[in-house]
Amino acid sequence: MYLEWNVAADEENLMLRTFLRGKFVSKLLLTSVKFSEDGKIEVNGKEENVLYRVKTGDHVRITFPKEQENELLIAEYGELPIVFEDDFILVLDKPAGMTSIPSQYHPSGSVANHLKGHYLKNKIDSAIHIVTRLDKETSGLMLIAKTRYAHGRLSTLHQAGHVTRKYQALVSGNMETRSGSIIAPIGRNPESLIERAVVADGKYARTNYEVLASYPTFDHVKIQLETGRTHQIRVHFAHVGHPLVGDSMYGGPTELVQRHALHSCHLELIHPFTEEKMAWDSELASDLAAILTEHK
């Protein structure tokens, strides 16, 4: 896999490493290219040192080392609901009940297992870098980077607020306000290996919400995350007394559905290479949509 650029007039005389850093090629990635057998940096078809000073019109090409495959990851070949894919990123619409990555006691059945099978079947020389991981029972849009370059670039864009994620959820009871923000630090629950909680020494977390519709025992809400802490939405709504419907871990009622009622409905980003603004939407999962229909 490679990237290439033509040097512009305002980039004249930059050192090659500075030029590449300006293209969001990290220092770590440059080092991996330098010390690999199959990576190289070329200017006008000739390998060059990173101290080379570029000239207007130079054609720069960087060939990345082959992505390291996880040999222990079991490849599976079931259908994946892919909504977009190119050489850099992949977006899929994950069903509820599928984990993002395998675990020690459940080494198969995850998104990562199926992605490996997809890559092998289609002879795609890429790795699996999950950018927006979803809990097992959360349905909807997930973002995958296919190279270290794309992953690093997307992480930077994410931190700068250029990756937007929106969700729909059913929360128990009725919210006191039609819209607002839940701001509370999240960390590990000291009494659990899995659960998170609002704790004084936790990391800053902010969840913005808008009530779309109210029902006698729950609200249908739209949510936008400004941070991405583990279990953030689930913890925040439980913290304010409105745990997600179906979320038994955080005290939500389970009469209507046996999984937490959360769906990743919108993903928006700046492409890590083309810098094009892209967006995808996913309709509310059928089990959650059925609950709304039944309670109209």
Q: Which sequence positions are flagged as catalytic?
A: 135
Q: How far apart are CA 40 and CA 47, in angstroms?
A: 7
Contact residues for 53 (Cβ-Cβ < 8 A; gap 6+): 13, 14, 15, 16
- Across the chain, the runs of DSSP E, i.e. the strands, are 2-6, 40-43, 46-47, 59-63, 82-85, 89-94, 129-130, 139-145, 163-172, 179-183, 186-188, 196-198, 206-214, 218-225, 262-270, 277-281
Q: How far apart are CA 276 and CA 86, in angstroms?
A: 13
DSSP conformation class of 246: T
Q: What number of CA atoms fall less than 13 Å from residue 184's CA on the CB side?
A: 16
List the beta bridge partners of residue 188: 196
Q: How far apart are CA 296 and CA 32, in angstroms?
A: 57
Q: How far apart are CA 153 and CA 24, in angstroms?
A: 7
- Burial class for 78, CB neighbours closer than 10 Å (0-12, 13-18, 19+): exposed
CB atoms within 10 A of CB 28: 10
3-state SS class at 249 = helix
Helix (H) and strand (E) counts in the chain: 6, 16
